[in-house]
Amino acid sequence: MPILIQNATVIAIDDEHGTAPFAADIRVEGDRIEAIGPDLPVGDAEVIDAHRRLAIPGLINSHFHSNQNFLRGRYPSRPLELMMLYAYPFDPTLAVSPELVHLRTLAVAIESLKSGVTCLLDDCAELPGQDLGQLSAMFGAYEESGIRANCSGHVMNRPFMDTLPYAERFLPDELAALFHAAPPPTTEAYLEFAAEAVSRFHGRPRQRFVVAPSGPQRCTEDLLGAAAEFAERHDTAYHTHVLETKVQLITGRELYGKSLVRLLHDTGALSDRLTMAHAIWITEEDIELMVASGCSVAHNPVCNLRIGSGIAPLRDLLTAGVNVALGTDEIDCNDSGRLFDVIKAAGLVHNISDYDYELWPTAAEILRAATMGGARSVCLEHEIGSLTPGKKADIVLLDLDAWPFTPLNDPCVHLVYSENGSSVTDVLVDGEVVLRDRALTRIDEAQVMAEIALRAPDYLAARDRWEAVAREYEPYMKALYMHCMEQDTELDRLAATGVRLP
């Protein structure tokens, strides 16, 4: 049955209106927006009364890892390199079952839909490696929820000790043995896995597979190039982590004698299908390469603040013409799957990067990054990201009588600085109402929460055992981290003006 969203205040984020609000009806036919305009005929449509509702395109979370969904609030006050020691056990006995993958994926789908996210990129990093059973469980959970999902085959195929500068100097052999408990996959094995994943999952309604080498320092050069060729041949997105921390800046210099962006360029991995998560410690030369390739950046300001990675050069990226999207990153370094938290942080943190307030990001730029920027980053800009006739009907309604909009001034500004997701009332994905009057239509939320409460203790007890090992080796990783942080570099993306030594 067609749907008519009647008497809405619309922010379309399209070429005609941008982020300027206007009054209109929205008619949905099947999975598409058929028309937007005043006084559209009702006909045989189901009517959703949107008086005092704000209609916006569904938000797009362009960088997330569901594998850490049960670790909310687990690792405070640790930078990435130390957090990874705890959060990413290289112990094959800790691999999770498909049933637990399904449950933890439902958890983020619920939080996402209820806060206005209709599409996400889940760069799921299973250790010691992802299998098709786990990937199938992830796709299955997203299909059950009704959200639009782009799911990766995240891969690292270099020994972990070879991905860090000064590892032999600071990290003991015993830690190296733990990291190397399971051999990394070959390029050929990953491509076979990806081909099977494409045949099973890619192109399902609302679902796409993504190739995702973890980062240029964590993968062999032949895999980086082969993944780019695979993405082009099979019409998938390409996702990777680039220069999130100062340690990674040092990594490029010490292990390759070049920037990690230059390394991607030299392997043929830079393209318009590529999204770089983070891109904080990048240079002007890096940005030039990025512009020439047409790649995107998934900006994760809440995570970057939480783990002290630094402040990305957002204005430089936008001025140069790089497409910028927004992401929450994983729960253990964000503690939330709400993209509205990221939207507000992105609108605030860059105000301390330049005293020229005319260079601060505008609410319109941030909102565009959360919608059209995200659509471009997952190679779906012609299908989602704006309220445009002919595009998919991914639509979010928010209550204009809620406190974040009271009193109402500029709805775009309210969305960026006032809203936290609590005003979301209804969500459509592919023309289907998956959240109605704040209640999910496909999932029993209370049942999922109860099952998590039942299953989580055993899972967390297993994590406790690994974390005891991590605590033993943390001083070694800290020494490596501090050695890198004390070095002079051509960039400073931190608010700190100097290093405070113990």
Q: In this predicted structure, what is the pLDDT of residue 501? A: 44
Q: Is the pLDDT of residue 439 over 60?
A: yes
Q: Which residues contact 3 (CB under 8 A, 6 or more apart)?
A: 27, 28, 45, 46, 47, 48, 393, 428, 431, 433
Instruction: Tell whether omega for the bond before 128 is within 30 degrees of 0, i.e. cis.
Output: yes
**Are the beta carbons of 456 and 464 closer than 8 angstroms?**
no
Q: Which residues contact 350 (CB under 8 A, 6 or more apart)?
A: 311, 314, 315, 360, 361
Instruction: Give the lowest-confidence range in 170-174, 360-364, 383-387.
Output: 170-174
SS3 33: strand
Q: In this predicted structure, what is the pLDDT of residue 91? A: 75
pLDDT over 90, % of the chain:
89
**Short-list 277, 321, 320, CA closest to 299:** 277
Beta bridge partners of 392: 32
Between 96 and 386, the higher pLDDT residue:
386
Q: Is the pLDDT of residue 502 over 80?
A: no
DSSP state of 253: I
**Are the beta carbons of 326 and 375 closer than 8 angstroms?**
no
**Short-list 14, 51, 13, 46, CA closest to 27:** 46
Counting DSSP H helices and E strands in the chain, the numbers are 17, 17
How far apart (Å, rounded) are the C-alpha atoms in residues 283 and 259?
8
Any idea which fold 3-57+389-439 has? Urease, subunit C; domain 1 (2.30.40)
State the alpha helices, DSSP H only, in 294-352: 301-306, 314-320, 339-349
How far apart (Å, rounded) are the C-alpha atoms in residues 241 and 307?
15
The one-letter amino acid code at 92 reads P
Q: Is the pLDDT of residue 498 over 70?
A: no
Secondary structure E strands in 370-482? 395-399, 424-429, 432-436, 439-440
Q: How confident is the model at residue 181 (pLDDT cuts 50, 70, 90)?
A: low
Q: In this predicted structure, what is the pLDDT of residue 495? A: 75
**Six-digit token string for 147:** 């959200």
SS3 435: strand
**Are the beta carbons of 436 and 35 closer than 8 angstroms?**
no
Q: Are strands 432-436 and 439-440 parallel, antiparallel or unpaired?
A: antiparallel
Q: In this predicted structure, what is the pLDDT of residue 115? A: 98
Residues 327-342 have a mean pLDDT of: 95
Angle at 174 between CA 172 and CA 177, to 5 degrees: 115
Q: Is the pLDDT of residue 182 over 90?
A: no
Compute φ and ψ for 371, nearest 5 degrees.
Answer: -125, -85
Q: Which residues contact 450 (CB under 8 A, 6 or more apart)?
A: none
How far apart (Å, rounded) are the C-alpha atoms in residues 240 and 404?
35
Q: How many CB atoms lie within 10 A of CB 230?
A: 18
The one-letter amino acid code at 177 reads A
pLDDT digits (tens, 9 = 90+) for 447-493: 999 999 999 999 999 999 989 999 999 999 999 999 999 999 989 89
**Are the beta carbons of 332 and 340 closer than 8 angstroms?**
no
Residues 99-114 have a mean pLDDT of: 97
Q: How many CB atoms lie within 10 A of CB 7?
A: 17
Q: In this predicted structure, what is the pLDDT of residue 327? A: 98
**Are the beta carbons of 160 and 181 closer than 8 angstroms?**
no
Instruction: Give the lowest-confidence range in 100-114, 166-180, 229-243.
Output: 166-180
Instruction: Give the lowest-confidence range in 182-196, 295-309, 382-396.
Output: 182-196
DSSP state of 351: G
Q: Is the pLDDT of residue 176 over 90?
A: no
SS3 24: strand
First CA to last CA distance, the chain: 67
SS3 274: strand
Between 497 and 295, the higher pLDDT residue:
295
pLDDT digits (tens, 9 = 90+) for 39-90: 999 999 999 999 999 999 999 999 999 999 999 999 888 999 999 999 888 7
Secondary structure E strands in 177-261? 207-213, 237-242
Q: Which residues contact 419 (CB under 8 A, 6 or more apart)?
A: 340, 343, 398, 404, 405
pLDDT digits (tens, 9 = 90+) for 1-13: 999 999 999 999 9
> Which uninterrupted H or E stretch holds 67?
none
pLDDT digits (tens, 9 = 90+) for 237-247: 999 999 999 99
SS3 384: coil
Average pLDDT of the chain is 95
Q: Which residues contact 273 (CB under 8 A, 6 or more apart)?
A: 228, 231, 232, 236, 237, 238, 295, 379
Residues 165-179 have a mean pLDDT of: 89
Q: In this predicted structure, what is the pLDDT of residue 118? A: 98
Between 432 and 126, the higher pLDDT residue:
432
Q: In this predicted structure, what is the pLDDT of residue 499? A: 47
**Are the beta carbons of 359 and 329 closer than 8 angstroms?**
no
pLDDT over 70, % of the chain:
98
Q: What's the CATH number of domain 59-377, 3.30.420.40, 3.30.470.10, 3.40.50.300, 3.20.20.140?
A: 3.20.20.140
Q: According to CATH, where is 2.30.40.10 located in the chain?
A: 3-57+389-439
Q: In this predicted structure, what is the pLDDT of residue 340? A: 98
Q: According to CATH, where is 3.20.20.140 located in the chain?
A: 59-377
Q: In this predicted structure, what is the pLDDT of residue 500? A: 45
DSSP state of 123: -
Q: Most distant CA pair in the chain: distance in Å?
A: 73
Q: In this predicted structure, what is the pLDDT of residue 496? A: 58
